[in-house]
A and B are shown apart, each in its own frame.
Chain A
């Protein structure tokens, strides 16, 4: 794991990781601790059961977006600055090389997610939920599945597709995954050929919203859908398999 470790060291030096994470924490804290007010349909949302899901949705969106940003250029950068040459000549298989770079990015994404979860930690304490803090761990792991899906997917796309295209595709898939339920509704509303296209797209787009819902359920003491979580893990597996299968022709 020496490539992953070194790449991770490089990632944690990136200022944007902290900038986005800390900004995210501040925004979450402003709304989560009552310093700011969040209104939905003209009514202020202040209670735990309404705010906690919103905070998780925001954390999920920021974490997934960061995952795209961090993964979009990592593998292409290696080839552009030709650090890949010194790795290839040492007979390191591409699957290990790309796999370790992806692992480093995923881990960085999970670190930024952990920073964002700090806001949720403070929010729970400020709402007198200290006894339920343990719920943060499973919720963190569930959102972590989403972060991993987006990281591994973006890295897989970036192996062969130019950075701009792979970034656009990854961001689009991420957004569609986050708005999976909304798209499902849209499919039913528009119907016809467009609806059929959305229907098939939804079958291959990871249901990030579904997994996020399970994290919300954990936080709000509701039952979780194991199937949804396993499906998310299968998505990670499928994209990881792509990382191992896709190969560049030139270093």
Chain B
């Protein structure tokens, strides 16, 4: 059952198309990947899905009344707030009642492995900030979670922690879209995806179809090992 369908998505800046006629759909309960090198148009595609940039062509169709959570590539939170306060702020924007908020935030901090000690964001490590971004994306139990480069800038340990977190969410049956250029990570947790080069879809990937062939090999075959 489709939760999201994109048809002929196009975005151009100054006559140059960053995303060109991209079409795909995401099914409920799967982890979907946007695979491509840096600058391939993955983030722009996500922004079009989220309505953060205007679409020049094509359409984005969501299944009716779904809630969407989003974790940005480089999250910024007000440094003088604690993790709890950050989540409280975004929960407030979502009009989650104060009573529900307290329980949900504690639960989410627990889920992402952050302690509610009142530590200010300015004292957080990159990994902690990324996990906090995760937590805010989960506020209000979204039906669809969109994660933009969730492991970007993290060290090996941080990456492992985040991947474990995503796997945990996957097991809970959540639909997730991930955008990453780290192919090993994608291969490990994603079910399906599309490969993008210069804003154009150059192929699709399905874990079940390519049993035994690494995503890296498929990607290099399709992209031609060339940098974009």
Q: Please tell me whether chains A and B touch each other in their complex, using a CB distance cut-off of 8 A.
A: yes
The chain A residues found within 8 Å of chain B, CB to CB, are 2-3, 6, 9-10, 13, 81-83, 85-90, 92, 249-251
When distances are taken between beta carbons in the complex, the residues of chain A under 8 Å from B80 are: 9-10, 13
Query: Contacts A10-B78, A81-B76, A82-B72 known; A88 to B93 CB distance under 8 Å?
Result: no
A249 and B70 contacting across the interface, CB-CB below 8 Å: no
B48-75 interface with A by 8 A CB criterion:
50-54, 68, 70, 72, 74-75
Most buried by A among B54, B75, B76, B94: B76
- Give the total of B residues in contact with A, Cβ under 8 Å: 22
* A85 adjacent to B70 (CB under 8 Å): yes
B47, CB-defined interface residue at 8 Å: yes
Given known pairs A83-B76, A86-B136, the reply for A2 and B89 (CB within 8 Å) is yes
Is B39 an interface residue when CB atoms closer than 8 A count as contact? no
B203 at the interface (CB under 8 A from A): no
Q: Is B113 an interface residue (CB 8 A)?
A: no
Q: How far is the CA of A112 from the CA of B49 in the complex (A)?
A: 42
Enumerate chain B interface residues (CB-CB to A < 8 A).
Answer: 47, 50-54, 68, 70, 72, 74-78, 80-81, 89-90, 92-94, 136
Determine the chain B residues whose CB is within 8 A of the CB of A88 once the complex forms. 50-52
A2/B93 contact (C-beta < 8 A), A88-B51, A250-B53 known: yes
A90 touches B50 (CB 8 A): no
Also in contact, A89 and B92, with CB within 8 A (given A82-B76, A83-B76): no
Residues of chain A within 8 A (CB-CB) of B47 are 85, 250-251
Given contacts A13-B80, A83-B77, A250-B54, 10 further A-B contacts (CB under 8 A): A2-B93, A81-B76, A82-B72, A85-B52, A86-B70, A86-B72, A86-B75, A86-B90, A88-B52, A251-B47
A89 to B90, CA, bound (A): 11
Query: Which residue of the partner chain, among B51, B68, B92, contacts A2 with CB atoms under 8 Å?
Result: B92
Assuming the A-B contacts A83-B76, A85-B50, A88-B51, are A6 and B68 also in contact, with contact meaning beta carbons closer than 8 angstroms in the complex?
no
**13 A-B Cβ contacts within 8 A?**
A3-B93, A9-B80, A13-B80, A81-B76, A82-B76, A85-B50, A85-B52, A87-B93, A89-B52, A249-B53, A249-B54, A250-B54, A251-B53
Expressed in whole angstroms, the Cα–Cα distance for A86 and B54 within the complex equals: 16
* Residue on B nearest A83 in the bound complex, by CB: B76
> What residues of A have a CB within 8 angstroms of the CB of B89 in the complex?
2, 6
- Would you give the shortest CB distance from B189 to chain A, in whole angstroms? 22
